[in-house]
Amino acid sequence: SAVISQKPSRDICQRGTSLTIQCQVDSQVTMMFWYRQQPGQSLTLIATANQGSEATYESGFVIDKFPISRPNLTFSTLTVSNMSPEDSSIYLCSVEVGLAGNYNEQFFGPGTRLTVL
């Protein structure tokens, strides 16, 4: 299993500012993922972050808006840049832990609830 923590747990920000969310895992993992979950909606993958390489972004998400760092195997940050009210959401980090038979189980952080005024 994996224990994941995120900081901050919540924040209220002014439009036009940026917020950096931190994700810490209690074990070394190869792949970390950042999701967005808007109120009442499903989880949408923003990007995949591998240590030592550029993050891979999903359609609709760009590096300039959501820069990601992955300095080591237990830590990652996601920045939400130049925020607007539409960025109000819960942001969750996630990791995959390998299971027997080449399958991976996902574990999630507690999420960061962002409100942009």
Partner 1 sequence: GENVEQHPSTLSVQEGDSAVIKCTYSDSASNYFPWYKQELGKRPQLIIDIRSNVGEKKDQRIAVTLNKTAKHFSLHITETQPEDSAVYFCAPNPELTFGTGTRLQVTL
40-69: contacts with partner 1 (CB under 8 A)? 41-45, 48, 58-59
With CA atoms as reference, report the closest residue to 83 among 25, 20, 13.
Answer: 13
Q: Does 77 bind partner 1 (CB under 8 A)?
A: no
> What minimum distance in Å lies between the beta carbon of 15 and partner 1?
25
State how beta strands 56-57 and 10-13 pair. Answer: unpaired
Q: Give every CB contact of residue 62 below 8 A, 6+ residues apart in sequence.
A: none
> What minimum distance in Å lies between the beta carbon of 79 and partner 1?
21
Q: Does 109 bind partner 1 (CB under 8 A)?
A: yes
State how beta strands 56-57 and 43-50 pair. Answer: antiparallel
Size of the site for partner 1 (CB under 8 A): 20
Span interacting with partner 1, options 17-25, 69-77, 78-86, 109-117, rule CB under 8 A: 109-117
Residues in the chain: 117
